[in-house]
Chain A
Amino acid sequence: MSEQILECAALEPAVREAERLRAEKGQLFHDQIAASIYSRAEDIAKDVVSAAGVKTDWDHKIDRLVTSRIFGYPLMLALLGAVFWLTITGANYPSALLGDFFSAIEKQLTALFTLLGAPAWLHGVVVLGTYRGLAWVVSVMLPPMAIFFPLFTILEDLGYLPRVAFNLDRVFKHVGAHGKQALTMSMGFGCNAAGVIAARIIDSPRERLIAILTNSFVPCNGRFPTLIAIAMIFMGAGATTALGSLAASATVIGLVLIGIAVTLLVSWLLAKTLLRGTPSTFTLELPPYRKPQLLQVIVRSFFDRTLFLLKRAVVVAAPAGAITWVLANVYIGEISVLAQVAGWLDPFGRALGMDGIIIFSFILGLPANEIVVPILVMSYMAAGAMLEPESLGALRELLVFHGWTWLTALNFMLFSLLHFPCGTTILTIRKETGSVGWAVFGTLMPLAVATLVCLLLAQTARLSGLL
């Protein structure tokens, strides 16, 4: 026994010296060792492998370009920008068409209700509450989704997303997180709950937690349409001109970049405080490029994503629309319940450059982020302005009527981007971490970040006299 302790102690000087050296150089040794092995493997392979197939040669050439240090990021931005631009430009016309269509039907419905002699409250709940909510969701969110998802799926199918992860790996490692978090984050662009589950691919529990907790900082499919719609309305002036479309696209890209920046910043903070440790190395396989099957992509992304999300939005938005209408039309004394709650939330909302109704919509939108805007619109309509949201222009008028400025729009988008994840994602965090504590943290921490960002922005804008 004593001999064992003696021998173990014999290892100590070397262990301590190594610790000292590492403290001096940090991650340098770890990276250098991995890099030396990889470059030797490359060297040997170059020496002994010849006449590599033509196809792989092409793959390599493209990979060099899309993952290069110089062109990697600009190319990423350009592709993302092209996708948003096509979405925004293309969504405008069908959106207006659908809006006209639904408002025509609404007139018929109203006529029908009058003909049957239905009471005013029934007309209110069914037509003004539920139907309008649904019409809004479909006419404003369907066209962007129907264009955005196929485009995004094509990028996925091409094999571009692993390259994005490869580009971002360096940055994630740099902030003390796992390189694979770039992948789980990319997944989060689709759905945050899926991104949280995808974090299983990260083996170290510390790095997995970081990936899980920061996943909701990138906009998911549920929030992209919201961001795109508001950007079109406010930043793109209805996106009716080429310049407007560009401005709206730039805004959405800016938001995505802010989301990624906050992901990195919070990951870094977590890695420095609550979840300390060294990042681990991994091999990321870049799969060969494949020709996407266009027809299949369009069909699949329409049915699997667009209709799925729309169904979810409709299923949640319909009752939410009815509830909103009821809340807005049930009076306690002089004021409606909606106005009452919004009144309580108003000081908080104002401090963040928004108002009480916006905050209330976010709270009601907890089950699914895609219904925040419909609830908001219905609340505003119930609160007085009798506008039919048949087009983006009318929607803009409605929002401006309720005191929206570009600052409100910006704060709204930032809050939507950074605030708590949706109910499904929160439940998923609880399941994946096995802890209520982390789920609560995963809810409150983003809320704190969103509050802080909006507060800073609103106060700075006010103090500097921009508003």
Chain B
Amino acid sequence: MGRTNRPVGRKVSQDFYTIEQAGDAFVVALAGNPNTGKSTVFNALTGLKQHTGNWPGKTVIQSRGEYIHQGRRFMLVDLPGTYSLLASSPEEQTARDFLCFGQPTATVIVVDATCLERNLNLALQVMEITPRVIVCLNLIDEAQRKKIVINHQALENRLGVPVVLTAARSGEGLGQLKEEIALVAGGIIRPQPVPFRYPADIEQEIAKLDRLLPSTLPAGLNRRWVALRLLDGDQAMIDGLQKCWGNNVLRRETA
């Protein structure tokens, strides 16, 4: 497709969210805060099979790479490092849009074990969008040095998704991570994120909006999450939603 300055409407969203050449590979998103060793994990998993470019329409770098695990191809998409998915920076928007509309088969959230609390903010927000999540608790070696002990089982229980301990720099735990990704992407494990209740008045409004939303949402979006974003007044999200909608219908019409 040639570049035009003319707004190309619904076509844009399709280019935006569909990862080319995925073919029969599982698309796996890699999310995480900045400085959590996300890139180290990405490099360790994909080796030299990487492509870099920009996300269409944004000046945000997009990296993807491939690896083969037990005969299956996995396409890893490195999302920009962000602290949250709530705000309006291009990085956060890109990361969120991909999680919503790119429909990755699984999402790995890289979490810094030395400051779990701050990192969990992002993890919780990702889990609101998609349940197919694996938490990669990275920098576990550094946490040990700082005498920080994290109860692995308790964290898994509280989140409701698999948690893998890694020290990506030394390669520790990466085999286990690949294994978990394969299990979640292949649908053998179906993580059930622990549902999160907001304060009563917000829950009330969510229920109200839920009733007003159409019966089916595009891209298999979580109704509750869409209601929350509407309540949040997230205009970029609303626009994206409407675009993706047109896109969905377009696919249906041409099919």
Contacts and interface: CB of A to CB of B under 8 A. Distances in A.
Nearest to B82: A283
A291 to B, nearest CB: 18
Interface string B22-43: 0000000000000000000000
Contacts of B125: 37
Contacts of B148: 49, 51-53
Interface residues of A, number: 47
A50 B208 CA distance: 40
A32 B121 contact: no
B246 interface: yes
A36 to B, nearest CB: 5
A62 interface: no
Contacts of B202: 29, 32-33, 36
B89 to A, nearest CB: 4
21 contacts: A3-B249, A4-B246, A8-B242, A14-B209, A15-B230, A18-B230, A18-B233, A21-B231, A30-B232, A41-B121, A48-B116, A48-B150, A48-B158, A49-B149, A49-B150, A51-B147, A52-B146, A203-B87, A280-B87, A280-B88, A283-B83
A383 B214 CA distance: 81
| Interface bin, chain B | 35 or more
B246 A8 contact: yes
Interface in A26-46: 29-30, 32-34, 36-38, 40-42, 44-46
Contacts of A40: 120, 124, 196
A10 interface: yes
B149 A51 contact: yes
Nearest to A30: B232
A15 to B, nearest CB: 6
A42 B117 contact: yes
Interface string B192-218: 000010110010010011001110000
A283 B118 contact: yes
B238 interface: yes
Top 10 nearest A-B pairs (CB, nearest first) are A45-B117, A283-B83, A41-B120, A18-B230, A10-B214, A203-B89, A14-B212, A53-B146, A4-B249, A48-B155
A282 B232 contact: no
Interface in A334-377: none
Given A8-B245, A49-B148, A34 B230 contact: no
Contacts of A55: 146
Given A8-B242, A29-B231, A56-B146, 15 more contacts: A4-B245, A11-B214, A17-B209, A18-B231, A19-B233, A29-B202, A29-B205, A32-B199, A33-B232, A40-B196, A41-B124, A48-B151, A49-B149, A49-B151, A280-B88
A7 B86 CA distance: 26
A282 B121 CA distance: 12
B255 to A, nearest CB: 13
Contacts, number: 143
A7 B253 contact: no
A261 B26 CA distance: 55
Interface in B126-158: 146-151, 154-155, 158
Interface in A278-301: 278, 280-283, 285
B233 A22 contact: yes
Interface string B109-120: 000000011101
Contacts of B124: 37, 40-41
Given A13-B212, A34-B86, A53-B146, A29 B120 contact: no
Given A11-B214, A33-B231, A41-B120, A203 B88 contact: yes
- Of the listed residues A8, A21, A48, the one surrounded by the most CB atoms of chain B closer than 10 A to its CB is A48
A282 to B, nearest CB: 6
Interface of A: 1, 3-4, 7-8, 10-11, 13-15, 17-19, 21-22, 29-30, 32-34, 36-38, 40-42, 44-56, 203-204, 278, 280-283, 285
Interface string B239-254: 0011001100110110
A42 B208 CA distance: 29
Contacts of A285: 83, 118
A44 B118 contact: no
A11 B231 contact: no
Given A44-B159, A283-B83, A17 B212 contact: yes
A40 B123 CA distance: 11
A176 to B, nearest CB: 14
Contacts of A34: 84, 86
A348 to B, nearest CB: 44
Contacts of A14: 209, 212-213, 227, 230
B87 A278 contact: no
A55 B148 CA distance: 11
Nearest to A1: B253
Contacts of B118: 41, 283, 285
A308 to B, nearest CB: 32
B227 to A, nearest CB: 7
B186 interface: no
Contact of B86 (A11, A45, A49, A281): A281
B155 A11 contact: no
B171 interface: no
Given A8-B245, A13-B212, A41 B232 contact: no
Contacts of A18: 209, 227, 230-231, 233
B249 A32 contact: no
B175 interface: no
A13 B87 CA distance: 24
Contacts of A48: 116, 150-151, 154-155, 158
